[in-house]
Amino acid sequence: MASTATMRFPTNSTVTAGTESFPRRNSISGFISSRSSSSHSKSIFLRRTFNYRSVNHNLNLRRRNSFSVVKCVSGKQKVKDNELQQQEATTSLSSFAPDATSIVSSIKYHAEFTPLFSPEKFEIPQAYIATAQTVRDALIINWNATYEYYEKLNVKQAYYLSMEFLQGRALLNAIGNLELTGPYAEALSQLGYKLENVAHQEPDAALGNGGLGRLASCFLDSLATLNYPAWGYGLRYKYGLFKQRITKDGQEEVAEDWLEMGNPWEIIRNDVSYPIRFYGKVVSGSDGKKHWVGGEDIKAVAHDVPIPGYKTKSTVNLRLWSTKAASEDFDLSAFNSGRHTEASEALANAEKICYILYPGDESIEGKTLRLKQQYTLCSASLQDIIARFETRSGASLNWEEFPEKVAVQMNDTHPTLCIPELMRILIDIKGLSWKDAWNITQRTVAYTNHTVLPEALEKWSLDLMEKLLPRHVEIIELIDEELVRTIVAEYGTADSDLLEKKLKEMRILENVELPAEFADILVKSKESVDISSEVLQVSKDEGEEDGNGNDDEVEEAVAEKDGTEKSSIEDKIEELPEPVPEPPKLVRMANLSVVGGHVVNGVAEIHSEIVKDDVFNAFYKLWPEKFQNKTNGVTPRRWIRFCNPDLSKIITQWIGTEDWVLNTEKLAELRKFADNEDLQKQWREAKRNNKVKVAAFIKERTGYSVSPDAMYDIQVKRIHEYKRQLLNIFGIVYRYKKMKEMSAAERKESFVPRVCIFGGKAFATYVQAKRIVKFITDVGATVNHDPEIGDLLKVIFVPDYNVSVAEILIPASELSQHISTAGMEASGTSNMKFAMNGCLQIGTLDGANVEIREEVGEDNFFLFGAKAHEIAGLRKERAEGKFVPDPRFEEVKKFVRSGVFGPYNYDELIGSLEGNEGFGRADYFLVAKDFPSYLECQEEVDEAYRDQKKWTKMSILNTAGSSKFSSDRTIHEYAREIWNIEPVKLP
């Protein structure tokens, strides 16, 4: 039976779908409400029929939702039939070419058969879910084909382990990579919706915080696009970091709700789970092996998210782990007795591991939870990797080949437990010797360092780790012992001071006695503060060879030595200083990462030099071949092509090809057109269109109105003292103060109109960072309501900054601020995104700023501030009381303290910039030192912006010079120089 389906749309137009047939069932009916832009809903009865091929397409995908091909084992013929059936299905699926009509049918199908909403309404949230599910269907085809091909060829694969994956919205990125943006826009238009509005229903996946997570996601995009065989591994945080709200009191944190309506992109693999153990004890078995027994057992369950490449079939996998306890751990007896909390304690303890990203670690409970998170990521991922290796190897399993098939990249120190965990599995479970396991581990694992900040070079309490992971501590102690042996062999024992220095600097275990084998190598004569020792020495000086004497003789000896009158032993003891508390015993994860891996890389040229010259200098001298640089990059698909379509069209028009999206070197061709007036006009129009969008966004989010004709000056990144948002807002305060001292005419003559935009989250327990957020919002509240200033200056703090907000702000940016204290930012990636989008930058010679300035040209970058090699000397100068602050800086502090920005007491905030020593004082990040240079550089910015022709040329040259900063280039370097993997293009 055939029928014609007629749908009534909000526009009151009528669309008639073609006649379609559906076997076994004549029609599928649903009652759907279609909502107009005026929020008026009309309920209509839909009689829908579907093309058999379209529905079969969806049904086949559900059958093929795992990476391994399911084969029947009841007989050869059945196996053959099954394989033939799969072959036919694959042929059918691969020939499926989505157009608007088939997409409409598929969206209707998912709204009916895989709903996360009730069927009575078909409103925009449901439209998003159903649309996403149709895209996922398309991804699964390539996804399964990708990994089946990798398995068939048994190629070496890279596994990227990261605590963060800051993905952003997936819908537009996925259909863009699949080259289906047009068909999806048309299909949704037929259903009464705009693609852009539907896409905005998607919440950002709350799996990361800043550059670390965004880099990881860019890498997955590039791995898929470049056809490299790879996986990503992370944790599936239920509540993410936090959702940021801005109130009159500053930042407020509430739980993220990104999973509240379900996640249409993920597939739960209930059949892929691994046991994770905590606590317990280690016993030696009769077989001579160590066995980790007892303790607390949980399960890690896989959730898979497909990551498509651009213009390729390759689709890689992001596998996220959630945690749960076994059903039998629920104490039914306790529950029935009314002890409900006690009954579910094991379940709650397991599930909370994946509740939030970076739980506060001020308490021992918080520290324990963080360590549990890190071990869960490492153990589940390695068990999964090893299981896959064993399956591929089959009967010819050879552990020596493991590093030839597996490359594990640790994104920062969070996954460092991979090293002892891989050792544990290879030795305790697979039966390898220590020597073989250590050789395999070192050849498999590599480490990316992301920071020079001491607090980010993780150290864990040895006592805590010993309780939580007792077997791993045994392994770490043996690794440390081996390292001590290497250090002693390298430096010898003749110079005990040098040897002691190297051991203190390089050991994995801090404040821990040397292994017994080396207990006597650092024996030195040390004067004891113990009174009996002192008395013994005095007695010997007096000629008492045996060191024994009566009390009177001892007292006399002490008195003579001290030049004092005779005193009692008790008086002497009372003068002794308080005993110094024993320093905590720690495990230095960064040192373990360097020792346990075959490569250590920094993420920008200057950062990698600091890593070699400072952070890990002793290791670099010992193993120089281990150290590399891999300057970060970002994907040009998300960060120009999709988020800035207006600029992308202009680039394609003037270069003459869209190949620049895959080969960013072609962006350099824009240089020859930089002076062309037609290009400059188009460039300015595209920028203004994006600024209009941002103005509307700011109005919606904050209530403030801003002019699209002002300069958009943006600093968006994690709120941290070293990133120096405080320097930026102090510069704004100075600007505001000078404006207030002028007449209206003088103000207009002296200042370029600016909208100063901030965004970023302060960690929940980082008090000083939260004070900075509060201060920025207070300044904004005063400046934005000042009628004398008007559109000359606006200060906006965008709440809950994330990837989707960045995709709106960055295309509209004209000046971006990357003003960290030199030598403290490893790389940065937002600076690359801004440059790609034709944004000029003001910054220090820090991180990737150095390379960006080289690539775009020194004349197209606003440079200020102290250099990295000067920082130590400047801090010493401050400590010695020699620093004299600029009068303008003192003027700003006085102005803030006057209460002009409200009643809040900012003494603690400003106090961090004062004094010469002390924790939280002495301006450690050199805000005051760089302030005059910063102000002068901002004057250069104003002057350049007044000449719009010059500014536009500089903007074009920034885009033209950004080609190096594609993550495609970075991934090629990782693949060749660290992982040793090759591209595998699907046939």
What is the distance between the alpha carbons of residues 718 and 818, in angstroms, rounded to a whole number? 12
Q: Active-site residue 723, yes or no? A: yes
Q: Structure tokens of 869? A: 């090699």
Burial code (b: 16+ CB inside 10 Å, e: under 16) for 533-567 equals: ebbbebbeeeeeeeeebeeeebbebbeeeeeeeee
Query: Residues with Cβ < 8 Å from 93, sequence gap 6 or more?
Result: 57, 60, 61, 141
Q: Active-site residue 78, yes or no? A: no
Map residue 259 onto helix, strand or coil. coil
What is the distance between the alpha carbons of residues 402 and 444, in angstroms, rounded to a whole number? 8
Query: Residues with Cβ < 8 Å from 555, sequence gap 6 or more?
Result: 566, 567, 568, 569
Q: Active-site residue 785, yes or no? A: no
Alpha-helix residue ranges (DSSP H) falling in 260-344: 332-336, 340-343
The answer to whether the CB of 251 falls within 8 A of the CB of 766 is no
Tell me the angle at which helices 100-113 and 52-63 cross, rounded to the nearest 10 degrees. Answer: 60
Instruction: Calculate ∠ Cα 294-296-297, nearest 5°.
Output: 100
Q: Are strands 296-308 and 315-324 parallel, antiparallel or unpaired?
A: antiparallel
Query: Residues with Cβ < 8 Å from 640, sequence gap 6 or more?
Result: 647, 648, 651, 661, 836, 837
Q: Active-site residue 946, yes or no? A: no
The answer to whether the CB of 145 falls within 8 A of the CB of 90 is yes
Burial code (b: 16+ CB inside 10 Å, e: under 16) for 922-941 equals: bbbbbbbbbbeebbebbeeb
Set 214, 303, 637, 717: catalytic member: 717
Set 666, 761, 833, 875: catalytic member: 833
What is the distance between the alpha carbons of residues 160 and 630, in angstroms, rounded to a whole number? 15
Q: DSSP assignment of 747-775, as one string?
A: HHHH---EEEEEE----TT-HHHHHHHHH
Nearest to 809 by CA among 819, 799, 820: 799
The answer to whether the CB of 64 falls within 8 A of the CB of 144 is yes
Longest Cα–Cα distance in the chain? 119
Tell me the angle at which helices 725-740 and 767-783 cross, rounded to the nearest 10 degrees. Answer: 20
Q: Active-site residue 718, yes or no? A: yes
Q: Active-site residue 352, yes or no? A: no
Kindly report the three-state secondary structure assignment for every residue of 643-695. CCHHHHHHHHHHHCCCHHHCCHHHHHHHHHHCCCHHHHHHHHHHHHHHHHHHH
The answer to whether the CB of 751 falls within 8 A of the CB of 711 is no
Set 829, 952, 959, 970: catalytic member: 829
What is the distance between the alpha carbons of residues 545 and 734, in angstroms, rounded to a whole number? 75
Residue 245 DSSP one-character state: E
The helix, strand and coil proportions of the chain, stated in percent and rounded to the nearest 5, come to: 50, 15, 35
Nearest to 937 by CA among 794, 792, 796, 840: 840
Output phi, psi for 161, to 5 deg.
-100, 125
Set 319, 450, 724, 771: catalytic member: 450
The answer to whether the CB of 764 falls within 8 A of the CB of 772 is no
Residue 582 DSSP one-character state: P
Q: Structure tokens of 938? A: 């901002």
**Beta-bridge partners for 588:** 459
Chain mean position to CA 557: 66
Q: DSSP assignment of 498-513, as one string?
A: HHHHHHHHH-SEES-P
Q: Structure tokens of 380? A: 């589940």
Set 313, 718, 853, 878: catalytic member: 718
Set 319, 414, 723, 794: catalytic member: 723
- How far is CA 249 from each of CA 206, 253, 451, 772, rounded to the nearest angstrom? 24, 12, 31, 12
| Active site positions, annotated | 450, 717-718, 723, 829, 833
